[in-house]
């Protein structure tokens, strides 16, 4: 019996290297025993060293198999290493094996991979952070028990999604840490390491109750989507039995009351008042709450077609806060503001003006991408005044939390959001305008406007004024 000892449960590189070595030496699957470091075996603990020289250079496996194996290895089944090695063994003589979906080994591996993908999806949907402070300041902690070992695989998603928030996700298998610069991993944790009570729980409960539509209740589907095993860690889960119990009555009331057309005057007033209206009863108090809230915001309809809400980016306490119009195509996909073509112009101008972007807070008047489809292309559409007003709740929250000295409106839509009325840029640029929260306001061109100017001389002139305005705003904020 050839014993292979892997460094840990998800040691894909170790498995790969050992598997290739065993295959090269023609060790059949039934003669290989796979263990993980620390596991005692009937055959003792002496794992066989696999030398790179054992690997035959001409042995190639299809990429589809490597991709599949990388997922299967995250499955909790003890059978996974052997199953994968059996597939690898067979691939030598059955080159098309991976295309035979009915083959029991292929079917089993595909099934495992599917379960792993599902576990990753659930983890992305159901991780809930709680606020915790440590000597480094504000940090967020989540406890989660994924069905399979997907903590490390999903970590880049959380780092992208919550780039501006220090967090740890603790799981029994591995813990993920993000310090706003890089990801790191430590050994699995005990549930006791996760703080259990905090304000975010109420926030989530309120949110969940607000999106719960009794008329669409399907208990079976809901439990499949949010299996009971996850309820334990979800603050909103406490509401589920009550909401289910009330559902029929609430549906009957909705049906009895159902007006088909919204009253235009009521809608207009609601939009006008939306900046002061509490969002689900609670104003966000941290940028992480803003980020979570923006992504789930239903204040207007843009969320339906957007990939995600795009919150602002930058440190709380930034002296300068920039407001753009709305995320564009690339920002919508990445979940970050000003990273596409307009973002590149913006970055270049900031550099020329001597303004370090990382010390500023960059956001948009509207947090979801408004667009229309033309063929496969998503074409930007300018948000109207009502939509800007509806989204101002989030901009106001960001301003309250960041407390900048100077707010710079980039373009007319941002001007409307920041000053509450149209701001002619040519007339008002380059001056400090008093805002109601003690900050000073500055209005300048939007970087996309500079990109669109057809005349090279006009473009260069407007760009120079833009750089000048950025320099002015930075000095004003000093
Ligand atoms: N234009 C904007 O106004 N904001 C972005 O984030 C990107 C493009």
Of 193, 210, 233, the one marking the end of a domain is 193
* Closest approach atom of ligand 1 to CA 324: 3
- Higher-confidence position of 188 and 32: 32
Q: How far is the CA of 426 from the centre of ligand 1 (A)?
A: 20
* pLDDT at residue 450 in the model: 94
Do both 92 and 229 map to the same domain?
no
Inform me whether the pLDDT recorded for 233 exceeds 90.
no
Do both 342 and 378 map to the same domain?
yes
Q: How far is the CA of 233 from the centre of ligand 1 (A)?
A: 36
Instruction: Report the number of distinct structural domains present in the chain.
Output: 4
Percent of the chain with pLDDT over 70: 75
How many Å apart are CA 473 and CA 476, to the nearest integer?
A: 5
How many Å apart are CA 56 and CA 53, to the nearest integer?
A: 8
* Confidence bin at 267 (pLDDT 50/70/90): very low
Q: How far is the CA of 325 from the centre of ligand 1 (A)?
A: 6
Question: What is the best residue among 321, 332, 338, 445 to mutate for testing ligand 1's pocket, by most ligand atoms within 8 Å of CB?
Answer: 338
How many Å apart are CA 345 and CA 366, to the nearest integer?
A: 20
CB-based contacts of 387, cutoff 8 Å, min separation 6: 300, 302, 366, 370
Do both 95 and 141 map to the same domain?
no
Q: What is the mean pLDDT of the chain?
A: 82
Domain boundaries, position 249: 200-256
Inform me whether the pLDDT recorded for 244 exceeds 90.
no
Do both 150 and 84 map to the same domain?
no
* pLDDT at residue 376 in the model: 72
Of 138, 164, 193, the one marking the end of a domain is 193
* Closest approach atom of ligand 1 to CA 446: 3
Q: How far is the CA of 162 from the centre of ligand 1 (A)?
A: 19
Using CB distances shorter than 6 Å, the residues near ligand 1 are 324-328, 331, 337-338, 340, 342-343, 364, 448
Do both 332 and 420 map to the same domain?
yes
* Closest approach atom of ligand 1 to CA 411: 3
Q: How far is the CA of 310 from the centre of ligand 1 (A)?
A: 10
Instruction: Report in angstroms the alpha-carbon separations of 98 from 13, 92, 291.
Output: 21, 12, 42
* Closest approach atom of ligand 1 to CA 410: 3
Write the CATH number for 365.
3.40.470.10
Q: How many CB atoms lie within 10 A of CB 165?
A: 20
* pLDDT at residue 327 in the model: 96
Do both 162 and 238 map to the same domain?
no
* Closest approach atom of ligand 1 to CA 448: 1
pTM of the model: 0.47
* pLDDT at residue 424 in the model: 94
Do both 236 and 137 map to the same domain?
no
Q: How far is the CA of 73 from the centre of ligand 1 (A)?
A: 40
Percent of the chain with pLDDT over 90: 48
pLDDT tens per residue, range 118-177: 899 888 888 888 777 666 667 788 888 899 999 999 999 888 888 878 888 888 898 898
* pLDDT at residue 416 in the model: 94
How many Å apart are CA 203 and CA 10, to the nearest integer?
A: 35
Q: How many CB atoms lie within 10 A of CB 26?
A: 9
* Closest approach atom of ligand 1 to CA 364: 4
Residue 404 and residue 361 in contact, taking contact as beta carbons nearer than 8 Å? yes
Span of 52-66, 302-316, 444-458 with lowest mean pLDDT: 52-66
Q: How far is the CA of 288 from the centre of ligand 1 (A)?
A: 20
pLDDT tens per residue, range 1-32: 889 999 999 999 999 999 988 988 889 999 99
* pLDDT at residue 265 in the model: 43
Inform me whether the pLDDT recorded for 56 exceeds 60.
no
Q: How far is the CA of 312 from the centre of ligand 1 (A)?
A: 11
* pLDDT at residue 41 in the model: 46
Do both 185 and 105 map to the same domain?
no
Do both 224 and 336 map to the same domain?
no
- The mean pLDDT of 178-193, rounded to a whole number, is 82
- The mean pLDDT of 396-410, rounded to a whole number, is 96
* pLDDT at residue 40 in the model: 46
* pLDDT at residue 143 in the model: 85
* pLDDT at residue 197 in the model: 56
How many Å apart are CA 204 and CA 295, to the nearest integer?
A: 13
* pLDDT at residue 269 in the model: 42
Do both 81 and 168 map to the same domain?
no
* pLDDT at residue 214 in the model: 59
- Higher-confidence position of 444 and 55: 444
- Higher-confidence position of 279 and 393: 393
Of 256, 288, 304, the one marking the end of a domain is 256
Do both 365 and 457 map to the same domain?
yes
Do both 289 and 242 map to the same domain?
no
């Amino acid at each position: 019996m050839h014993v292979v000892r892997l460094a840990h449960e998800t040691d894909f590189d170790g498995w790969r290297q050992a598997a290739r070595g065993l295959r090269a030496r023609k060790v059949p699957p039934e003669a290989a025993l796979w263990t993980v470091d620390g596991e005692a075996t009937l055959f003792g603990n002496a794992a066989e060293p696999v030398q790179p020289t054992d690997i035959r250079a001409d042995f190639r496996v299809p990429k589809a198999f490597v991709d599949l194996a990388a997922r299967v290895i995250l499955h909790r089944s003890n059978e996974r290493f052997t199953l994968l090695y059996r597939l690898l063994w067979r691939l030598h003589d059955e080159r098309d094996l991976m295309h035979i979906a009915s083959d029991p080994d292929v079917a089993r591996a595909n099934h495992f991979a599917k379960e792993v993908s599902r576990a990753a999806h659930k983890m992305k949907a159901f991780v809930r952070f709680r606020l915790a402070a440590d000597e480094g300041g504000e940090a967020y902690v989540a406890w989660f028990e994924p069905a399979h070992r997907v903590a490390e695989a999903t970590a880049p998603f959380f780092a992208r999604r919550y780039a501006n928030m220090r967090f740890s996700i603790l799981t029994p298998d591995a813990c993920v840490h993000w310090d706003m610069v890089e990801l790191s991993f430590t050994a699995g944790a005990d549930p006791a390491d996760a703080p259990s009570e905090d304000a975010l729980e109420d926030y989530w409960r309120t949110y969940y109750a607000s999106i719960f539509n009794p008329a669409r209740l399907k208990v079976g589907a809901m439990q499949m989507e949010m299996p009971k095993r996850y309820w334990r860690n979800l603050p909103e889960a406490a509401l589920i039995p009550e909401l289910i119990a009330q559902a029929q009555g609430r549906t009957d009331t909705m049906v009895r009351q159902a007006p088909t057309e919204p009253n235009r005057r009521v809608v207009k007033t609601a939009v006008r008042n939306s900046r002061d209206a509490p969002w689900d009863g609670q104003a966000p108090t941290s940028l992480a709450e803003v980020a979570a809230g923006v992504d789930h915001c239903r204040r207007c309809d843009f969320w339906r077609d957007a990939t995600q809400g795009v919150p602002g980016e930058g440190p709380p306490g930034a002296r300068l806060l920039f407001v753009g119009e709305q995320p564009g195509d690339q920002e919508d996909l990445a979940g970050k503001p000003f990273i596409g073509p307009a973002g590149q112009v913006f970055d270049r101008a900031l550099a020329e003006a001597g303004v370090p972007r990382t010390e500023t807070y960059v956001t948009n008047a509207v947090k979801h991408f408004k667009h229309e489809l033309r063929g496969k292309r998503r074409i930007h559409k300018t948000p109207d005044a009502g939509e800007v007003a509806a989204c101002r709740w989030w901009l106001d929250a960001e301003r309250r939390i960041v407390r900048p000295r100077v707010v710079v409106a980039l373009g007319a839509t941002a001007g409307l959001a920041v000053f509450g009325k149209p701001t002619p840029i040519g007339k008002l640029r380059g001056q400090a305008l008093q805002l109601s929260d003690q900050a000073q306001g500055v209005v300048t061109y939007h970087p996309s406007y500079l990109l669109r100017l057809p005349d090279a001389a006009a473009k260069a002139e407007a760009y120079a004024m833009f750089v000048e305005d950025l320099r002015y705003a930075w000095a004003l904020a000093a």
